[in-house]
Structure 1
Amino acid sequence: MSKQNVLVIGAGGREFAIAKALKQSPQVAEVYCAPGNVGMASVGVQTVPLAENDFAGLIDFAQTHQVAWTFVGPETALVDGIVDEFHQAGLKILGPTARAAQLEGSKDYALNFMNKYGVPTAKHTTYDNATAALAAVAQYGFPLVIKANGLEGGKGVVIAPDQAKAETTIKEMFAAGQDRLVLEECLTGPEYSLFVLIENGQYRILPMAQDHKRAYDGDQGPNTGGMGAYSPLPQLAPADRQRMIDEVVEPTIQGLIAGGYHYHGILYIGLMLTPTGPKVIEYNVRLGDPETQVILPRLATDLFELVDACLNDREMPVIEEKAEAVLGVVLAAKGYPQAPVHGQALGPFPEAPGIAIDYANVAGSLDALTGAGGRLLMVIGTATKLATAQRQVYDYLAKLDEPACEYRHDIGDKALK
């Protein structure tokens, strides 16, 4: 089989990790990434100056550059129907159609799907006006989970500790243009990230990870897109993982089949292991950021082969995981997520054993990098033990001189302490 060209859509750390993994496959010639980021040159990925939502331009590029298939990173393009447009042009693309992407695009849609197909989740109600939502707060007690219905880049969830915060949040979400919001009971237990590659009814489970959403140490501060992750999960008992497959993954897959979704893509299942068993917090219809950066390096199976089989309706190879542990810490701009600093000089980033850097929100050039706001990059450690990987990453970060940046100091502690 001759080597293939592939296209990745997106610009962040997740897309960096996807493109890097594909570039490592002996079956891949060129990896293009649109729009990509300047850091991708460090791993031999060619960036393409096309926006994620320029569907016509992306289709034209895929056709003229003999792209075998396209891998979509961000949810916005999926919800906006990029997969439908590529299919109409006769092109192969990994991701759900716009209809299936509503599992992430609308919290209400996802909850209705879970209810219909018997997928366990929190007690919840959707409201389309502030008056009804405010009147219902008393039914739930505190803390109360309040979710914006639409896409909010991982930041549309507020856990209100009291009546005052609940009222303010509800009013603000509707004032900001949300047409609906969801009130949910607050589940308790550890959270886990489970990613499934789905080929209609066939599926493969990728290495599991744990993400850290809050901005500051000890899970304090506002929700972010994610401040770090690690894999594997030594604290997750095999029996609990099996329950997640039996009670959550299986009914979800059966629901996708029964609903006629013809799903070819990734489904992220955000799970909480509650005292009564696993429950779904949310679905995403793509890989997560920052989990992708720690789960793809743990794949012993070739990512190109997995996706290529999925998109050509062949049996997907069985997923094999490497024994190593991988832990990554996000270096974010100071002030993230509310008011991140822009334009700070970054680097140099010296090479170190067991350390990799996945670039995300960076500008400039490889030898003169600057921050472009938000989550700038991830420092990733790989070692035989999770504790060693954690130590490697924090030793490396401690040596950097980045006063206009910040990071959490406790990524991985839930597994180690």
Structure 2
Amino acid sequence: MKKQNVLVVGEGGREFAIAKKLQKSPHIKQVYCAPGNVGMASVGVIPVAIAETDFAKLIQFAKDHEVAWTFVGPEDCLVDGIVDEFEAAGLKAFGPDARAAQLEGSKDYALNFMKNYHVPTARHATYRDQTAAINGVDQFGFPVVIKENGLAGGKGVVIAKTRDEAVRTIKEMFANGQARLVIEECLTGSEYSMFVLVSNGHYRILPMAQDHKRAFDGDEGPNTGGMGAYSPLPQLSSAVFQRMVDEVVKPTVDGLVAGGYHYHGILYIGLILTDEGPKVIEYNVRLGDPETQVILPRLKTDLFELVDAAINDRPLPEVTESTDACFGVVLASKGYPTKPVHGQKLGVFPAAANIAIDYANVTGTANELVGAGGRLLMVIGEDLSLQKAHDQVYDYLARLDEPECFYRHDIGAKAGL
């Protein structure tokens, strides 16, 4: 196979990790990322100044640069039909089409899919009317989970502890323009992130990870896009993992086939291990951020070969993963996620053994980085054990002087770290 050019769509830490992993493949000539970020030059990836929403320019770029295929990172593009547009132009894009992307684009749609194909999830109801939602909330008990129906960047979920908080949340969500809300019973148990590479009924499971959604230590504060992650999961037994495959993954993939879905892409399954067994919290139709940054370094199988086989309907290579551990902590702008500081000058991030920096929301130049709000970057450690990787990351973060930023100090606590 001659060396290929590929294009990654997106600009955050997830796309940084995807592009970096692809760039290491011996099959790759060049990885482009649109729009990318200024930090990507540090790993040999070329940022391209095209907005991820400008499908026409992305298509033209892919044609002009003989791109073998395009890996789509963000959910918004997938829901808006970027894969459909690329395929209409005779190009290959890795990700679900717009119909299949509704599994993330609409919570109600996803829950109906789970019901139809017998995938275990929480007891739930969808409401289009504020009064009906308030009248219906009591049937779920408290705390109760209230979700915006549409895309919310991982932040459109409130766990209301009391009826007053639930009513206030319902009113606020409808006032903010939500046409539908989903209310669910609050499931309890450990949460896990599973990423499944799907190719028309065939699948491979990538290394497992655990994400940390709350902004502050002790799982306090508002939900964020994710403040840190680690892989592997020492607390997850092989028997429980097999239950997840048998009771969740298989019926989900079978449902995609039975429903006639066009799916060549990644399916994220957010799982919670309840007393009754594993249940699905949500589907996403792409890799997650920050889990991507810790699972891809552990993936020994060539990512290019995996995606290339999936997108061309060839047999999927087996997935093998490293025995090493990977641990990552997000450095975020002060005030994130509600009112993040923008424009702070970031110091130099010195090279250190077994430490990588995956850049996300940064601008400026490679030598003078400036924060662009939200999650700025992730400090990632790889080592023989999770404890060693954990210690290296936190030692590195402790040496930084970034007063306009913050990070969580307890990532990995549920693994006993």
Compute the TM-score of the two structures, normalised by the length of structure 2.
1.00
Q: CA deviation at 1:255?
A: 0.3
Q: Which residue of 2 aligns with 1:183?
A: 183
The residue number in structure 2 matching 1:228 is 228
Cα distance in 1, alignment partners of residues 103 and 347 from structure 2: 39
Tell me the equivalent position of 1:302: 302
Alignment deviations for residues 127-177 of structure 1 (CA, whole Å, 9 cap, x no partner): 001100000111111000000000000000000000111011101111111
Counterpart-to-counterpart distance in 1, 2:79 and 2:208: 25
CA distance in 1, matches of 2:147, 2:208: 25
**1:317 correspondence with 2:320:** no
SS of equivalent residue, structure 2 residue 68: strand
Q: Distance in 2 between matches of 1:285 and 1:208?
A: 16
Structure 2 residues without counterparts, runs of 5 or longer: none
Q: How far apart are residue 280 of structure 1 and its match? A: 0.1
Residue 84 of structure 1 corresponds to: 84
The match for 1:133 is 133
| Partner residue in 2 for 1:390 | 390
Alignment of 1:2-41 (within 5 A): 2-41=2-41
**RMSD of aligned Cα (Å):** 0.5
> Distance in 2 between the 1:306 and 1:330 partners?
28
SS of the residue corresponding to residue 345 of structure 2 reads coil
AA matched with 1:117: Y
1:59 alignment partner, SS class: helix
The residue number in structure 2 matching 1:113 is: 113
CA distance, structure 2, for counterparts of residue 321 and residue 186 of structure 1 = 33
Residue equivalent to 1:206: 206
Aligned to 2:276: 276
Task: Look up the match of 1:68.
Answer: 68
The 10-residue stretch of structure 1 (162-171 or 247-256) with the greater mean CA deviation from structure 2: 162-171
User: 1:262: how far off?
Assistant: 2.4
Residue of structure 2 in register with 1:170 after alignment: 170
Q: How far apart, CA to CA, are the structure 2 residues paired with 1:248 and 1:160?
A: 27
Following the alignment from structure 1 to structure 2, what is the Cα–Cα distance between the partners of residues 123 and 137? Answer: 12
Measure how far apart 1:62 and its partner are.
0.3
SS in 1 for 2:108: helix
Name 1:347's counterpart in structure 2: 347
Query: In structure 2, the residue corresponding to 1:70 is in which secondary structure?
Result: strand
Q: Deviations over 1:324-374 (max 9, x none)?
A: 000000000001011111111112111101100000000100100010000
* 1:241 counterpart residue number: 241
Residue 220 of structure 1 deviates from its aligned partner by: 0.5
SS in 1 for 2:165: helix
Match in the other structure for 2:95: 95
Partner letter of residue 263 of structure 2? Y
Q: Does the residue aligned with 1:337 lie in a helix, a strand or coil?
A: coil
Q: Read off the aligned partner of 1:176 and give its amino acid letter.
A: N
Deviates more, 1:341-350 or 1:290-299: 341-350
Measured after TM superposition, the shift of residue 92 of structure 1 is 0.6
Task: Write out aligned runs for 1:329-408 (5 A).
Answer: 329-408=329-408
2:300 is aligned with what amino acid?
A: A
Shift of 1:416: 1.8
Q: Which amino acid aligns with 1:371?
A: G
- For these two proteins, the number of residue pairs brought into alignment is 417
Partners of 1:69 and 1:177 in 2: CA distance: 37
The one-letter code sitting in structure 1 at the alignment partner of 2:294 is V
Secondary structure of the residue aligned to 1:197 is strand
- Distance of 2:47 and 2:137 partners within structure 1: 48
Letter in structure 2 aligned against 1:411: I
Distance in 2, Cα, partners of 1:254 & 1:269: 15
Q: Which residue number in structure 2 is paired with residue 122 of structure 1? A: 122
Give 3-state SS (helix, strand or coil) of 1:288's partner. Answer: coil
Amino acid at match of 2:133: A
Identity of aligned pairs, percent? 73
TM-score by length of 1: 1.00
- Other structure's SS at 1:398 match: helix
Q: Summarize deviations over 1:369-393 as a string: whole Å, max 9, x none.
A: 0100000000000000000000000
The separation in 1 between residues aligned to 2:185 and 2:137, in whole angstroms, is 10
SS state at 2:305 partner:
helix
- Note the C-alpha offset of 1:302: 0.3
Query: Residues 275-334 of structure 1: CA distance to partner in whole angstroms, max 9, x if unpaired?
Result: 110000000000000000000000000000000000111101100000100000000000
CA–CA separation in structure 2 for the residues paired with 1:338 and 1:139: 31
Deviations 1:61-102 (A, max 9, x none): 000100000000000000000000001001011000000000
SS in 1 for 2:377: strand
**Cα separation, 2, equivalents of 1:312 and 1:92:** 9
Q: What code does the residue aligned with 2:61 have?
A: F
SS in 1 for 2:265: strand
- Amino acid in the other structure paired with 2:76: T
Aligned-partner Cα distance in 2 for 1:233–1:47: 33
Secondary structure of residue in 1 paired with 2:287 = coil
One-letter identity of the residue aligned with 2:356: A
Equivalence map 1:36-47=2 (5 Å): 36-47=36-47
Measure the CA separation in 1 of the matches of 2:279 and 2:71.
Answer: 29
Deviation at 1:111, TM superposition (A): 0.1
Secondary structure at 2:267 match in 1: strand
**d(CA) in 2 for partners of 1:169 and 1:39?**
38
SS in structure 1 at match of 2:408: coil
Secondary structure (helix, strand or coil) at the match of 1:235 reads coil
Kindly provide the CA deviation profile for residues 192-236 of structure 1, in whole angstroms up to 9, marking residues without a partner as x. 000000010110000000000000001110000000000000000
Partner amino acid, structure 1, of 2:176: A
> Residue by residue, what CA displacement relative to the aligned partner does 1:16-45 show, whole Å, maximum 9, x if unpaired?
000000000010001000000000011010
Q: 3-state DSSP class of the match of 1:25?
A: coil
